[in-house]
Structure formats: structure tokens, C-alpha cells
Amino acid sequence: MITGSQCRAARALVEISRSMLAKRAGVDLISIERFENITGSLVKREMQDVKRALEELGAVFIPENGAGHGVRLKFSNVAAERIAQLECEGGIVANDRVP
């Protein structure tokens, strides 16, 4: 799952307002405000809907890995192609391209 801080950061990265996120995710605006301000929480379905909406806009959530959790943007097609050229060492490749 994601944290309120990750939600707030992802919203800033994809440049979407709370009200637009609420509409896209089908979640009450007040619930998102409380979640981001750490004064409330979302039920599992709401959190999944918020996460999905932000991911569709290009956010990638980084789970806790001992150094903390985070969020970043997916790579653009140009950047993803350049990285693919540089990697050239095989292995599993994830879809990091923004739609």
C-alpha cells in the first residue's frame, strides 16, 4: 500500500490537484485530504483506487526497502529507449514508459 506522504508527492509529480485525483479515483475529496495530512486513513479499496489513478498518470511507487519508501515518475519513451540501449545486459525489463 501507499502512505499519505507518497500520495502527496505523487500528486505533485504528476501535477494533479486533490479534487481531480478524487474524481479520477472515485474517492471522497475529504478522505484524500485527511490521508495526505496523516489525520485519517483510506480503506483498502480506496487506497488501491488512488494508487491506480496516480500510476495511470505516470507515478511509480517505491516500497519500503530499508532506506525508506518513495515515489518517482515513469521514464519518457525517449529516456526508456536510451536506458534500454545502455543496459544491453539482459534481465527482466519492466514497462517504465508513460502512456
pTM of the model: 0.75
Cell 485530504 belongs to 33
pLDDT, one tens digit per residue, over 37-77 is 988 889 999 999 999 999 999 899 988 877 778 899 887 66
CB 36 within 8 A of CB 4: yes
H helical segments located in 42-95? 44-56, 77-87
Model pLDDT for residues 9-32, shown as the tens digit of each residue? 999 999 999 999 999 999 999 999
Rounded distance between C-alpha atoms, residue 55 and residue 21, angstroms = 11
Full set of structural domains in the chain with CATH? 4-73 (1.10.260.40)
